[in-house]
Amino acid sequence: MPKLMPGAVPSIIEAIGSTPIVRLNAVTADIESEIYVKVEYMNPAGSMKDRVGLNIIRDAEERGMLGPGGTIIEATSGNTGAGLAMVAAIRGYKCIFVMPDKMSQEKVSALRAYGAKVVICPTAVEPSDPRSYYSVAKRLVEETPGAFYANQYHNPANPEAHYVSTGPEIWDQTKGEFDVFASGMGTGGTLSGCGRYFKERKPEIQIVGVDPVGSLYYEYVKTGRMTKAFSYYVEGIGEDFLPSTMNLDILDDIVQVDDRECFMMTRELVRREGIFCGGSCGAAVMGAIKYARSLDEPKRILVLLPDNAQKYLSKIFNDDWMRSNGFLDERENEGTVAHIL
């Protein structure tokens, strides 16, 4: 192979990471704490899960669980699928992704664009139900020869990706000069992996999880009770069971946000900060602002923003969808589109 051209990377995989950290200005105008965001949508497949997809595949190859001609199967809300599919495209693996039906059409289309097969399952069933996306993924693994189940909810390579990649990168960028790390809670990979890395270096850093109303984490952390989860619209955060990738011991506090708060803040981040981010980003920033309001003194808060607005154009950024789900008043945002006929 000829020598690599200066300034180039050998494949898109080497373009994962080195995402910027940006200060928020407008949406934080009425709080004293500073909020900085790690803009993970600048990863090549559009989210922090690129780091996870790469680490899961690398780990599976090293363990001999995934080889030439293999098929990667995963239950995903879309971003892990995209990260896996991007790496699989280069390494020649097939992919089958099982998704709950609440996920945006843009995410389904993106996975298909990478050449993956997508299976859609009902969202509103128990995880143990044979129709749930977890159960269907497990069945497909049993039925498919050469299958590898990425299993982000129980695969230690998920939090490890953040321990070896996201965490050290943030530490190098900031020199550890922040007081609070806040992130949404899905599999817990981000929170557990980054949280462990930061706590090992600066134990006084506060790790704050943000959980949507409807998920069971908040109630479980506050009271120890396992409540029955119910449906909500924000994608990628909150769970209806406890994944083993979520290390709740690392958590110092947890903040709850509802769909409306998540979506209004997401729109604010795009319109007032120019940060083209997705719904769980609005959730994480809203959670960080609520946390900041509860503090006695100003702190420097770092918030991880998982993915981009492109994936939600038909939902959070569609006034009709927002109105029909009760997130926007009749009068709000009228006239933002003009049709010249």
Which residues are catalytic, by number? 49
Residue 109 has which token pair?
């289309």
Which of these segments, 10-18, 97-105, 185-193, 215-223, binds ligand PMP (CB under 6 A)?
A: 185-193
Angle at 87 between CA 83 and CA 93, to 5 degrees: 115
287 binds ligand PMP (CB under 6 A): no
Site membership for ligand PMP, residue 55 (CB under 6 A): no
Q: Which lies closer to ligand PMP via its Cβ, residue 33 or residue 280? A: 280
Gap between the Cα atoms of 122 and 158, Å rounded: 25
CA dist., res. 265 & res. 271, Å (int): 10
The stretch near ligand PMP (CB under 6 A) out of 141-149, 165-173, 187-195, 266-274 is 187-195
Smallest gap from Cβ 276 to ligand PMP, in A, equals: 14
DSSP β-ladder status, 71-75 and 300-305:
unpaired
43 binding ligand PMP? (CB under 6 A)? no
Contact status: 190 vs ligand PMP (CB under 6 A): yes
The pair of structure tokens assigned to 65 is 């669980």
Q: With binding defined as CB under 6 A, does residue 307 bind ligand PMP? A: yes
Stretch of 186-194, 268-276, 319-327, 333-341 lying at the interface with ligand PMP (CB under 6 A):
186-194
Separation between Cα atoms, residue 314 and residue 311, nearest integer Å = 8
| Whole-angstrom distance, CA of residue 251 vs CA of residue 196 | 10
Residue 209 makes contact with ligand PMP by CB under 6 A = no
Q: What single-letter DSSP state applies at residue 162?
A: I
**Nearest distance from C-beta of residue 43 to ligand PMP, angstroms:** 12
- At 71, the amino acid letter reads T
User: By CB under 6 A, is residue 236 in contact with ligand PMP?
Assistant: yes
- To the nearest whole angstrom, how small is the minimum distance from the Cβ of residue 235 to ligand PMP? 6
Binding window for ligand PMP (CB under 6 A); candidates: 22-30, 115-123, 232-240, 249-257: 232-240
Among 111, 265, 306, 327, binds ligand PMP (CB under 6 A): 306
Q: How far is the CB of 232 from ligand PMP (least distance, A)?
A: 13
Nearest Cα to Cα of residue 231 among 247, 242, 215 = 215
* Tokens 């971003």 sit on residue: 79
Say how many residues touch ligand PMP, by CB under 6 A.
17
Give the tokens for residue 196.
């462990």
The stretch among 14-22, 109-117, 125-133, 180-188 that binds ligand PMP (CB under 6 A) is 180-188
Q: Residue with the closest Cβ to ligand PMP?
A: 236
How far from 2 is each of 6, 7, 180, 203, 327, CA to CA, in Å? 12, 15, 46, 47, 55
Give the shortest CB-36-to-ligand PMP separation in angstroms: 18
Amino acid of residue 202: K
Give the E-state strand segments of 188-252 in sequence order: 206-212
Within 57-86, the residues that bind ligand PMP by CB under 6 A are 77, 79
Q: In the complex with ligand PMP, which residue's Cβ is closer, 102 or 144? A: 102
Q: Which of 46, 81, 83, 186 binds ligand PMP (CB under 6 A)?
A: 186
Q: How many CB atoms lie within 10 A of CB 264?
A: 17
CA dist list (Å): 148 to 95, 144, 205: 9, 9, 37
Alpha carbon separation from 301 to 166, 182, 225, 273, 284 (Å, rounded): 16, 7, 29, 17, 11
- CB of residue 184 vs ligand PMP: minimum separation in angstroms? 4
Q: Which listed residue (185, 265, 285, 286) binds ligand PMP by CB under 6 A?
A: 185
Backbone φ and ψ for 320, nearest 5 degrees, come out as -65, -45
- Nearest distance, CB of residue 100 and ligand PMP, angstroms: 11
Residue 216 DSSP symbol: S
Interaction between residue 188 and ligand PMP (CB under 6 A): yes
Residues that bind ligand PMP (CB under 6 A): 77, 79, 184-191, 235-237, 278, 280, 306-307
